[in-house]
Amino acid sequence: MMAADLASTPVTGLRVQACGDCHVANFGGFATPERRLVFDINDFDETLPAPWEWDVKRLATSVVLAMREAGFGERHSRDVTRRSVETYRMRMHVYASMTAAGVWYSHLDLNILRKDAKTAAAKRKWQRLIEKATARDSAHEFPKFTVVRKDRPPRIVDRPPLITHPADVARINKHVRRIFERYRKTLTNERRIVFDRYELVDVARKIVGVGSVGTRCAVALLMAGPHDPLVLQFKEAGRSVLEPYAGPSRYENQGQRVVIGQRMLQSASDVFLGWARDDSGCDFYFRQLRDMKMRIDLESMTKADWVEYAELCGWALARAHARTGDPAHIAGYLGKKPVFDAAIEKFAAAYADQTE
């Protein structure tokens, strides 16, 4: 619905690789291939080249809605929203002054959260979140996610209705193995070397987020040894909701659209990202499940937490847009005065009212 509404609003004509579903719950921390924790956008199901303004408006609206839901007053909600947009504008000016390679290599280290926290309590909170995220790799999650049976391969634990094994396991496993062979071909040669050390031992269906209910999603357990697990999630990829308004993707496979868009927008992406199409013509994308991801409870954040978090979201979005668009032209339009910030703050409050 918002894609249709945004399509009728004014745009500058400058396009970027848009996230497409840019709201505050779609940001967070995760591990780079070098096992460094960074803060970035983490959902790309709707990514597509589109006007940069659409992501900014959706992010700003989500700040207002999330803070209202958490019980903050209208003044606080609008103040924090403006801070997120102001950060986007100011960071875009910074990226406009950098080299193209410098923009591409830039990233937001998660230690920024701890370092820039305004209070000692906030510093301790971010430190705990970082420590928990660091521990959440496949090896750590393996005992909670599986059951080990004597003389038999490990098995994913059923947790109905969220995770279940299909009744026709043998047929599904044969189907999944064909998909995996196609997915393997989308990995680069050096990543196939690692992937080929693992053997597929179990697959289960998985229920995912509200926006994806009704789509096919599954988790797969692969093992390279008794204590060497790899857990992958593969998820159905449909056409982007932006497509009717921004134009079709250049990629025939919608899983490829998601993966390439993610690689464009994130400062570092999962080494096992890939895509495939099954025999029925359904597209999927693959990624690791729960690889050092940071969980941020938006409902428990204080106003000070919200200010820091919203500014980080604005910064991460500016970095993503600067990588795939023209930061100088966008910065030139934004200007150095807070006119744009005020306009988006007003839009976000009005659209939040409409959403409610």
| pLDDT tens, residue by residue, 7-45 | 999 999 999 999 999 999 999 888 777 777 889 999 999
Find out whether 9 and 58 touch, Cβ atoms under 8 Å: no
Interval 80-85 mean pLDDT: 98
Beta bridge partners of 149: none
Sign for the CA dihedral angle at 92, 94, 99, 102 comes to negative
pLDDT computed for residue 262 by the predictor:
97
Task: Give pLDDT tens digits for 117-176.
Answer: 777 877 887 788 777 777 766 666 777 788 887 778 899 999 998 999 988 777 777 889
Residue 185 CA from chain centroid, whole number = 24
3-state SS assignment for residue 250:
coil
Task: Give pLDDT tens digits for 309-332.
Answer: 999 999 999 999 999 999 999 999
pLDDT computed for residue 138 by the predictor:
65
Distance between CA 261 and CA 240 in Å, rounded? 11
Please report which confidence band the pLDDT of residue 260 belongs to, taking 50, 70 and 90 as the band edges.
very high
3-state SS assignment for residue 186:
coil
Does the pLDDT at position 208 exceed 90?
no
Q: Is 149 or 6 the better-scoring residue by pLDDT? A: 6
Contacts of 119 (CB under 8 A, 6+ apart): 304
Helix (H) or strand (E) holding 168: none
Beta bridge partners of 31: 37
pLDDT computed for residue 297 by the predictor:
82
Distance between CA 335 and CA 263 in Å, rounded? 29
Does the pLDDT at position 282 exceed 90?
yes
Contacts of 149 (CB under 8 A, 6+ apart): 155
- The b-or-e profile of 163-192 (16+ CB within 10 A means b, else e) is bebeeeeeebbebbeebbebbeebbeeebe
Cα atoms found within 13 Å of the Cα of residue 15, Cβ hemisphere only: 10
